[in-house]
Amino acid sequence: MKATAFPFLAVMFAVIMGMGVVRLITAFGEMIKRRKQVRPYWLHGAWLVLLLLVYFHVWWSFWEFRLATNWNYLAYLFLLTGPVALFTASSLLIPDLGESSEVDSKSFYYHNHRSFFAAMSVAVTWGISVYPVLFGQLDPIFEWLLLFLAVMVTLAITKNETVHKLLTLVAWLLFATFVASYGFSIESV
């Protein structure tokens, strides 16, 4: 399939990404609306907000995918892996706020951290693989993505609260550094 098929291929990517963003924003609203039922925990909140920013970043970066010239069904399925992993991560990080349930965000976070960070590890691994698969070269931010992956894997493995606090701050710092260094422009073609 030629690169001119990209707009067609982009639709499902956009749908899955949009579902994840809507899921997160809806969760923010529900947690505010049911704030008497939710005992907040800053790490949980930090990852909810960072995950939303990661969605925005991936969607922003998606513009570069239009430059890929050799599309086929496997490349299309590969393209959807990242959004599916992010959506899965979102679902794992958002508590179920039933009418009568109370949520302790700290307990919820540590109960789901392994699955959440495993899904995030899949998403970051996908991010590392996008350039080699679609363009035949390493991603320009390969080192940054490797550091982010190391943080995700470590957080999936450990339940140590101090490590989670420290690496959450590291993840935010990595993301902020990346955005400050690379995120303010898209090369025009």
pLDDT per position in the chain (189 positions), as tens?
Answer: 555 556 666 788 889 999 999 999 999 998 998 888 899 999 999 999 999 999 998 888 887 777 777 778 888 888 899 999 999 999 999 998 876 678 899 999 999 999 999 999 999 999 999 888 888 888 888 898 999 999 999 999 999 999 999 999 999 999 998 888 776 655 533
- Model pLDDT, residue 161: 97
Instruction: Please state, in angstroms and as integers, the Cα–Cα distance from residue 151 to each residue in 10, 36, 108, 109, 161, following that order.
Output: 29, 32, 20, 16, 14
Counted domains in the chain: 1
Please check whether residue 188 lies inside any domain of the structure.
no
Query: Would you say residue 189 lies in a domain?
Result: no
| Domain range for 157 | 3-182
The angle formed by the CA atoms of residues 107, 108 and 114, to the nearest 5 degrees, is 105
187 within a domain of the structure (yes/no): no
Token pair 């997160």: residue: 24
Does residue 138 form part of some domain?
Answer: yes
